[in-house]
Amino acid sequence: MINVTPDHPIAHEAYEQVKNLRCDYVNIIAHTFKKSETEQGFFIAGIYPNKGEGGFNRLDWLAEFEQLNGISDA
């Protein structure tokens, strides 16, 4: 189990859900699976609102993801 940061290869799979949440903090959890003998794959296992500061700040996560991927509201 890993936390999905904005620069993680599967962060794009969480983006829309995180964007649509209405909470301050969020946990984005991924699990791994074996794609081949030498390669590991990832899948989003859950995206959960978090009432405390135990998760990522949702707006900061979105801002970093958008900056890394050249996404703007304009």
Sign of CA dihedral 31, 55, 46, 60: negative
In tens, the pLDDT along 23-47 reads 999 999 999 999 999 999 999 999 9
Chain CA centroid to CA 19, Å: 10
pTM given for the model: 0.87
Residues facing 32 on adjacent strands: 42
**pLDDT given at position 41:** 94
Treating both helix axes as pointing N-terminal to C-terminal, what angle do 11-20 and 58-69 enclose, rounded to 10 degrees? 130
